[in-house]
Amino acid sequence: MKIKDMQYKRPDIQKFNSDMGEIIEKIKTSTSVDEILALRDKKLKLGRELTTASVLCSIRYTCNTADEFYVKEKDFWNEISPEIQNIELNYGAALLNSPLRPQLEKALSDVYFRYLEIESKAMSETIIPDKIEENKLITDYTKLMSGLEYEFRGKKMSRPELAGFFKSEDRDTRREAYQVQGNVLNENKEQLDDIFDRLVKVRNGMASKMGCKDFVELGYYSMRRVSYGVEDISKFRKNVLLSITPVVSRLRTENAKRIGIDKFMFYDDGIVVKGGDPKPVGTKEDIFKATHAMYHAMGTETGSFIDMMLENDAFDVDARKNKCGGGYCKYIPNYKQPFIFANFNGSADDVDVMTHEAGHALNAYLTGNNRFADEIGCGGMETAETHSMSMEFFAWKYIDNFFGKNSEKYKFMHALQNLSFIPYGTIVDYYQHIIYSQPNLTPAERCAVWKELESEYRPFICFDGIPFIEDGRRWQYQSHIYGAPFYYIDYCLAQTAAFGFLLKSLENYDDAFAKYMALSKQGGEKFWPQLLSEAGITSPFEDGALSTLASKVEKVIESLVC
């Protein structure tokens, strides 16, 4: 069924609550494992109905934040989603506290029960009002950012459209585009400060009510971190600074000289290839044709996947006013249907959508019938991003179809930018650790923290003279900081795994891709470190792992220098 034909219907929350209450009470008193498993089946069906409605609402709202019907529906979900989360918590508690838990763990999975334990620490009825307020503030941020218009050279456009000029081969064009963005965002900086300040207060308040030291602790529980903790990430950050940052700084500085840049400015960060970064050959339709051919060449399963996506019109990639920025993949469970959202702007990013977001979609397609597809899904976000980021590199074999004679330039750009991303992504995560451990910082002090982290992790970049950016405000259009706290480090961790798959694919593509598909098919039924081990990928938490990885990736990049 085509996405546009899928019917959205606001659920009867009172009936859902009643049905779930009955299931929970029966689990509490049950003396039969089989009865509890049957009750679980009923719960999963209810959950799929609810999630399907929620996802359809979210898709249609983000595609047009000015649609009055879905604006109201989004408000509805903001109000009731914390209540639903609390009901899920009560269901999990009934399983965790059941006298039959040992038998249930054997019948189901100890991995699943580990997730239930973590989730029990992330939610409580006492913070439902706070969760509602948090949702409203995130929506306020989304509305603000998606509704802004930028006038560039006589044309009004959305930020995703303006962002296409950030990669212009002409340096003056890039600088002017960033100045236009900075001026518009400066006009709204007080509102951005206010929304975030209220978010920090709400989140810190929730942490206090949950008995957590600060929102860092609660944030980790909310992200369902089962494979690593704060100390592991602290070690990872230090190793990024010691092993990745020096390599990135050296490569970017040397590359800037090659393309004629003497002083590396922020508006040069998106440019890697002399004469301008390679752009896809042809039109949007040509990108889709090349995508179709690529997934069919990869194998029967991937071919069936892309046929299904195209047949059901499971893409919205055109940038327009009132459409949210960025990109995502969502899964509609009742239809077993992934959906890809993006904002094409004519840059290489358009191709990355067809690999990165499609990597998420392929995983959802492959795991839709897994035993724990509804409860665990793909597992932690580091696992989810491993699926997507690795697919970007597996596309190298077919990249000629997208970039023609500039394919090698794309590979060079892609590898260097992805390695450069790791220090930036680490900044995003480190920033949140600092901010939520010091919740009373002023807006100016928060911006000062960002500037200091930039100087540590990206010392080769100068931000002077760029409105908004030079004040340490780059973080305010990194939507994850507002809407998905502590998510961003998962991109960094996954990027190391993706580079691991790249290195393996350069040695034996078919074997590497087979291991990737095996990893993707397992979803969240195993913890991330175990999945990596089975694929022959080194965990980034192992001593010396980042140093070894940086050295090998540097050699690959140097072999591709254009």
Question: For 391-404, what is each residue's pLDDT tens digit?
Answer: 999 999 999 999 99
Tell me how many domains the chain contains.
1
Question: Is the pLDDT score of 474 beyond 80?
Answer: yes
Give the pLDDT mean for 435-464: 97
CA distance 307 to 321: 30
The DSSP secondary-structure symbol of 312 reads T
Q: How many angstroms separate the CA atoms of 489 and 219, rounded?
A: 12
d(CA 367, CA 377): 8
In the chain, the percentage of residues whose pLDDT exceeds 70 is 100
| CA atoms lying within 13 Å on the CB side of residue 65 | 19
Please say if the pLDDT value at position 240 is more than 80.
Answer: yes
Residue 82 lies in a domain: yes
* pLDDT tens digits, 50-101: 999 999 999 999 999 999 999 999 999 999 999 999 999 999 999 999 999 9
On whether residue 387 sits in a domain, the answer given is no
**Domain contains 33:** yes
Q: Is the pLDDT of residue 562 over 80?
A: no
pLDDT at 326: 86
| Summary mean pLDDT of the chain | 95
- Burial class for 155, CB neighbours closer than 10 Å (0-12, 13-18, 19+): exposed
Q: Indicate whether 288 pLDDT > 80.
A: yes
- Nearby residues of 436 by Cβ (< 8 Å), 6 or more positions away: 200, 203, 204, 207, 214, 215, 216, 219, 485
Predicted pLDDT at 523: 80
* Half-sphere exposure at residue 223, Cβ-oriented, CA atoms within 13 angstroms: 27
40: in domain: yes
| Residues 363-397: tens digit of each pLDDT | 999 999 998 999 999 989 999 999 999 999 999 99
**pLDDT for residue 265:** 97
So what's the pLDDT on residue 169? 87
Q: What is the reported pLDDT for 556?
A: 97
pLDDT at residue 165 in the model: 92
Q: Does a structural domain hold residue 252? A: no
Task: Please provide the size of the chain in residues.
Answer: 562
Which are the contacts of 160, defined by CB distance < 8 A and separation ≥ 6? 319, 323, 325, 326, 343, 345
**Domain housing 74:** 3-124
Flag whether 42 is in a domain: yes
Q: Is 164's pLDDT higher than 90? A: no
Q: What tens digit of pLDDT does each residue of 523-554 get?
A: 888 999 999 999 999 999 999 999 999 999 99
State how far Cα 427 lies from the chain centre. Answer: 16
Residue 340 falls inside a structural domain: no
Question: Per the structure block, which two tokens stand in for 44?
Answer: 């999963």
pLDDT at 205: 97
Per-residue pLDDT, 332: 98
Q: Can you give the pLDDT at residue 23?
A: 98
Strand locations in 232-386, DSSP E? Answer: 315-318, 328-332, 337-344
> What is the per-residue pLDDT for 304?
98
- pLDDT of 481: 97
Q: Is residue 50 part of a domain?
A: yes
Q: What is the CA radius of gyration of the chain?
A: 23
For residue 426, count other CB atoms closer than 10 A to its CB. 27
Burial status of residue 376 (CB atoms within 10 A of its CB: 0-12, 13-18, 19 or more): buried
Of 250-254, 344-348, 410-414, 482-486, the poorest mean pLDDT is in: 344-348
pLDDT band, very low/low/confident/very high, at 561 (cuts 50, 70, 90):
confident
Number of H helices, E strands in the chain: 25, 5
Degrees, nearest 5: CA angle 478-68-17: 85
The closest alpha carbon to 350, from 445, 415, 281, belongs to 281
CA distance 496 to 540: 7
Q: Are the C-beta atoms of residues 118 and 217 closer than 8 Å to each other?
A: no
- Residues 442-453 have a mean pLDDT of 98
